[in-house]
Amino acid sequence: MKCEEIGELLPDYLQGSLKTEQDDLVEQHIAECADCRQEVAIWKKLSLLPVEQPSAGSRERFEAMLRAYQTGRNDKASAGFERPKRAAVWNWLRSPVGAVAWSAALLVIGIFAGNYFGNRTATHSNTSQDEIAAMHTELANMKQMVVLSMLQQQSASERLQGVSFSRREDQLDPQVMSALVHTLRYDGSVDVRLAALDALSRHGAQPQVHKGVVDALQEQQSPLVQVALIDLMVEWRDPDAAQRLRNFVQTPNLNPTVKQRADWALSKLN
Amino acid sequence: MKEQERAETENDQAMKLAPDEDLMLEVRNGAGETLGVLFDRYHAPLYNFYSKLTGDRTLSEDLVQEVFLRILKYRQSYQPGTPFRAWIYQIARNARVDHYRKTPRHITFEPEMVAPVMPKDSAQQTEETELLHRALMQMPDEKREILILSRFQELKYDEIARLLGCELGTVKTRIHRAIQELRQNFKQIERGLAPREAGPAVVKQIPPRRFGNEV
């Protein structure tokens, strides 16, 4: 048998779903043909690739999402103006007066339907675009809630994930922003603070982000974060930066590397 | 009180044994919390599907969350009688396509994305795993996907055919071609890496943090 014919049988052979005779045929061929043998071998070798475990935060994120979703739905349901209104309209349509009005309306619709027919598809796609837009807003809200809840987790790696999750959105929500600024200032882990700074650095166009970052310098203890903050201030050419840095270099017991960096930054800014 | 507790545990047990489809119908009828059971069943397989496909863990976790969010959103569109597994993988594929439509890829493959070294493996096996991973990542998306679906996600060929919207015969042909390509890639990489450096990997000095290029 040729390799081509064997090739047709091979996928079934690999899943063990061939009849005995065909199975034998394949095995016979494989014993003789190195190419086909290697194909079988590489398929088997794929089992070497490890089964990976999602992080522990995964379940929590899911639950936060589920809660957010259900809260959102309950809010909508308790607002509940829709149903009575709809019922009233329906009753009116079924009343005799309603029936006459309805028929008249149908007639008018019938007359104009032809004219509007061409435009109909356009209108339809508008509505569905509105729906999609509404869904996106809802989705963004939910993502914010998830970020906010993750930034409050006990474990640093989960807070880190919260920060990296916040970067997925192009627009920075004010609440998320202030949470990130808070993280930058007060988080116990240097890694999380650096990640927060990195996430904030993408939104330098927002004045509040600027202020949050510049304000954070005075309180930082970690040289790594201090240097990163100084670099960012230089990059942004922040108007306050020079004054802040001049105060900053006066800090007693400043790490020499950080001081050097701050001096360099001052020379850049002046 | 005790009666009630027992009833609740029994209910939990029943839920853990119920078929996916029944659970999904409950979700569809408004019992959002039942989705948790489906999450437990599917989040690890989906995560592996994505991580093998994209080589990016954070992205994979995000996409898994996205899948379950979509299930909630579109739960009304779940038709009774549809195999749930097929349905969730359909959503999973769409979620990935939509993601790349929004954020196009810059990097297709970086050596850093290779799974970390697993200490319990023998050195040779680790190296093979790494080669295999690279060979897989070098393949075009569609071929890698069909290999992953058939090899790791335990989907049957007819399920894959329905998922991809093609004939059963086409699926088999595609799988065979994908295996051929994987083997070629593996061979090439193996040859290319023959004079591999021994000794510990070079620890790169961590560069100072920079924002943008200008420092």
pLDDT digits (tens, 9 = 90+) for B29-80: 888 788 999 999 999 999 999 999 998 888 899 999 999 999 988 888 898 8
Mean pLDDT computed over every residue of chain B: 80
Sequence-distant (6+) residues with CB within 8 A of A35 are A3
- Band (pLDDT 50/70/90 cuts) for residue B186 is very high
CATH number of the domain enclosing B37: 1.10.1740.10
**Residue B185: predicted pLDDT:** 92
- Do B130 and B81 lie in one domain? The reply is no
**Residue B200: predicted pLDDT:** 40
Sequence-distant (6+) residues with CB within 8 A of B142 are B174
Q: What are the boundaries of each domain within chain A?
A: 3-45, 84-115, 149-269
- Between B207 and A175, whose confidence is greater? A175
Q: Which of residues 127-166 of B touch A (CB under 8 A)?
A: 128-129, 132-133, 136, 147, 150-152, 156-157
Kindly state whether residue B147 falls inside one of the protein's structural domains: yes
Coil vs helix vs strand at B210? coil
A183-191 own/partner pairs: CB under 8 Å, 24+ apart: A183/A151, A183/A159, A184/A212, A184/A213, A184/A216, A185/A215, A185/A216, A185/A219, A187/A156, A187/A159, A188/A156, A189/A156, A189/A159, A189/A160, A190/A222, A190/A224, A190/A225, A191/A156, A191/A160
- Do B98 and B153 lie in one domain? The reply is no
Question: Which residue is associated with the tokens 């005799």?
Answer: A96
DSSP state of A203: T
Q: Locate A186 and state its tokens.
A: 């007060």
What would the DSSP string read from start to end of A124-154? HHHHHHHHHHHHHHHHHHHHHHHHHHHHT-S
Question: Any CB–CB contact under 8 A between B68 and chain A?
Answer: yes
> Does the beta-carbon distance from A8 to B173 stay under 8 Å?
yes
- Band (pLDDT 50/70/90 cuts) for residue B128 is confident
Instruction: Report the percentage of chain A scoring pLDDT > 90.
Output: 10
Measure the CA–CA gap between B52 and B164, rounded to whole angstroms: 18
> Does the beta-carbon distance from B39 to A7 stay under 8 Å?
no
- Between A161 and B20, whose confidence is greater? B20
**Residue A94: predicted pLDDT:** 61
**Residue B209: predicted pLDDT:** 46
Kindly state whether residue B7 falls inside one of the protein's structural domains: no
Kindly state whether residue B208 falls inside one of the protein's structural domains: no
- Do B157 and B173 lie in one domain? The reply is yes
Residues B87-110, mean pLDDT to the nearest whole number: 80
- Best of A30, A39, A43 to mutate (most B CBs within 10 Å, chain B): A43
Q: Which of residues 179-218 of A touch B (CB under 8 A)?
A: 194, 198, 201
- Between A143 and B179, whose confidence is greater? B179
Kindly state whether residue B152 falls inside one of the protein's structural domains: yes
Is the backbone of residue A53 left (phi > 0), alpha (psi -120 to 50) or beta?
Answer: beta
Chain A positions touching B64 (Cβ under 8 A) are 54, 58
Kindly state whether residue B198 falls inside one of the protein's structural domains: no
Residues B162-169, mean pLDDT to the nearest whole number: 92
Report the amino acid identity of residue B191: R
Domain of B178 in residue numbering reads as: 111-193
pLDDT at B2 over 70: no
**Residue B208: predicted pLDDT:** 46
Measure the CA–CA gap between B82 and B76, rounded to whole angstroms: 13
For chain A, residues with pLDDT lower than 50 are 80-84
Question: Any CB–CB contact under 8 A between B211 and chain A?
Answer: yes
CATH number of the domain enclosing B173: 1.10.10.10
For residue A167, which of A208, A186, A195 has the smallest C-alpha distance? A195
- Do B18 and B102 lie in one domain? The reply is yes
Question: Any CB–CB contact under 8 A between A51 and chain B?
Answer: yes
pLDDT at B166 over 60: yes
Domain count across chain B: 2
Question: Which residue is associated with the tokens 């949470």?
Answer: A179
Question: Any CB–CB contact under 8 A between A8 and chain B?
Answer: yes
Chain A positions touching B186 (Cβ under 8 A) are 42
Question: Any CB–CB contact under 8 A between B183 and chain A?
Answer: yes
Residues B157-184, mean pLDDT to the nearest whole number: 93
- Do B16 and B102 lie in one domain? The reply is yes
- Do B25 and B95 lie in one domain? The reply is yes
- Do B100 and B115 lie in one domain? The reply is no
CA atoms within 13 A on the CB side of B6: 3
CA B91-B97-B102 angle, 5° bins: 125
Kindly state whether residue B183 falls inside one of the protein's structural domains: yes
Measure the CA–CA gap between A239 and A32, rounded to whole angstroms: 77
Residue B28, phi then psi, degrees to nearest 5? -60, -35
Measure the CA–CA gap between A159 and B139, rounded to whole angstroms: 34
Q: Which of residues 67-106 of A touch B (CB under 8 A)?
A: 69-70, 73
Chain A positions touching B176 (Cβ under 8 A) are 7-8, 10-11, 39
- Do B116 and B102 lie in one domain? The reply is no
**Residue B202: predicted pLDDT:** 40
DSSP state of A46: G
> Does the beta-carbon distance from B176 to A15 stay under 8 Å?
no
- Do B52 and B76 lie in one domain? The reply is yes
> Does the beta-carbon distance from B151 to A65 stay under 8 Å?
no
Coil vs helix vs strand at A186? helix
- Do B117 and B97 lie in one domain? The reply is no
Q: In angstroms, how far apart are the furthest CA atoms of chain A?
A: 89
- Do B38 and B63 lie in one domain? The reply is yes
Question: Any CB–CB contact under 8 A between B28 and chain A?
Answer: no
CATH class of this structure's domain A149-269 = mainly alpha
What is the complex's ipTM, to 2 decimals?
A: 0.75
Q: Locate A230 and state its tokens.
A: 């100084």
pLDDT at B196 over 50: no
**Residue B125: predicted pLDDT:** 72
